[in-house]
Amino acid sequence: MDTRYLLLTILGLSLSLSAGCANADQHEDKQNAQEDVEMQSIDYRQIPFTTITGDTARLADFKGKVVLIVNTASKCGFTKQYAGLEELYRDKKDKGFVILGFPANNFKSQEPGTNEEILNFCRINYGVTFPMMAKISVKGDDKHPLFKYLTEQSALPGEISWNFNKFLFDRDGNLVSRYESKVTPDDPELTAQIDKSL
């Protein structure tokens, strides 16, 4: 076979492969951009989630209240914060404050129980009366849509670092502040921001 012909054939195949890869990359970029636009167009207040007893709820259901969302776990060094959260809830609930607990098993499998087991644990050990949600994922490919919005598209983005991260919303459902796990429920900065929002 003519060497020049062989080289031209190889060059043609290389160009075809390069074009195919470029088209695939462009398609993936376009798809990712479309997903970003779709997420931005979603009203996160309308994203449904399930309560620990099986009902459907949305942030919009709590309009008019100051809401603190916490991702929780039963076998974590921060689990004792349940007691402080319950105290905070009882102290301020009559002023229009509510806490929503979202159990998650994303960090070292520290929330292995079923929804029924989690609810019993919270009630028996910490007397929890604030609303608890069904167990979800707050990190990874199976991240719940609400937490996907909070960590990727909200005014305060960033992955959840561990159990008992906290998100505070004002009465209109706007995210106003965010706190790491080490910030306890009685932390002056947190309680001051809650009082300011009430």
pLDDT in tens, 31-71: 544 444 444 567 999 999 999 999 999 999 999 999 999 99
- Of 39, 42, 57, 76, catalytic: 76
H or E segment and range at residue 91: helix 81-92
Instruction: Sheet with 66-72: list strands edge to edge.
Output: 97-103, 66-72, 166-169, 175-179
- 17-34: pLDDT as tens digits: 455 544 545 555 545 444
Longest dimension (CA), the chain: 89
Distance CA 42, CA 144 (A): 14
The β-bridge partners of 51 are: 133
Q: pLDDT under 50 in the chain at which residues?
A: 6-8, 10-11, 13, 15, 17, 21-22, 24, 30, 32-39
Which pLDDT value is given to residue 42?
Answer: 76
Task: Residues 46-197: name the CATH superfamily.
Answer: Glutaredoxin (3.40.30.10)
Distance CA 24, CA 185 (A): 48
Which pLDDT value is given to residue 13?
Answer: 47
Is 76 one of the annotated active-site residues of the chain? Answer: yes
